[in-house]
Amino acid sequence: MNKKNIEKWVDTAEVGASVVYYTGNLAEDRCYDRNVGVIPNLFAGQAEKGKVDFFQKRKTVMQKSATPKRPVFDYIARKIK
């Protein structure tokens, strides 16, 4: 996705539609790659305008161990307006 695609999706998607804009561990991944935040930041701009909201869905199973798996999430934007 890029800025143009995001704006088009926000303008044309039906209310309640959602899109996965990132899969991984966004907070951790931003520490290692500054470019990771570009798409989430563009969606954040749409959220500030009241057009989308956010939620996450865990993809990995939580484990109780000395070396747990790195958590992976789908980061999802949902059209609200």
For 21-73, what is each residue's pLDDT tens digit?
A: 999 999 899 999 989 989 999 999 999 999 999 999 999 877 777 666 788 99
Query: Cα–Cα distances in Å, from 46 out to 30, 64, 71?
Result: 20, 37, 26
| Average pLDDT, integer, range 7-16 | 94
Burial class, 1, CB count within 10 angstroms (exposed 0-12 / middle 13-18 / buried 19+): middle
Residue-level pLDDT at 50: 94
Please give the tally of structural domains in the chain: 1
Q: Whole domain around residue 68: which residue ranges?
A: 3-79
